Amino acid sequence: MPINASKVTRRDQHGREHVVTVQRSGVQRTISCDTCGWRQSTQFLPWLKAQEHLAEAHQATVDPSEAHTSR
């Protein structure tokens, strides 16, 4: 992944992983869903918008990084 990109990963109730990639170009961010191809440009709160998309479109709300630390 390029240095100007990051990702938001969540799992749905069936354990399927869904990923939204956040890419940066100057102040503009483009967010795109690897599961369904949805894309949106934004300047503010791209990670929050990515989480909202995953929750609304895919019912993916479980953060896999938090699942390991809650034990």
* pLDDT for the residue numbered 1: 56
Residue 37, token pair as written in the block: 């191809």
Query: Quick one: average pLDDT of 29-55?
Result: 96
The C-alpha atoms of residue 55 and residue 19 are separated, in whole angstroms, by 11
Q: For the ranges 16-20, 40-44, 53-57, 65-69, which has the lowest average pLDDT? A: 65-69
* Mean pLDDT across the chain: 90
- Closest Cα to residue 54, out of 40, 68, 43? 40
